[in-house]
Amino acid sequence: VVMLILILIFAVFHSGMASLRDAGEKLIGERAFRVIFAGISLPLAVTTVVYFINHRYDGVQLWQLQSTPGIHQFLWLSNFISF
């Protein structure tokens, strides 16, 4: 639940500020807008990632596929194809 809230907060601020970019740049200038945008987005992103890393093993595990034959190779192949 906390992770979902953190992601939603980041998404709202990041996307919301990105949608206001043209108006913000006209109002305060391109550089100032980028500094404010980064000053808000980066701490929110870092907080979300750090929380995820610190709590990655909390709760019920969704996937229990480690012992499934061929899963490791399948994931490597699908990851390779995606890039």
Q: Which residues contact 21 (CB under 8 A, 6 or more apart)?
A: 33, 37
User: 6 falls in which pLDDT band (50, 70, 90)?
Assistant: very high
Q: Between the CA of residue 48 and those of 6, 52, 73, what are the distances in Å?
A: 6, 6, 30
Instruction: Enter the pTM of the model.
Output: 0.68
pLDDT at 9 exceeding the cut of 90: yes
pLDDT at 62 exceeding the cut of 80: no
For residues 36-59, give the mean pLDDT: 94
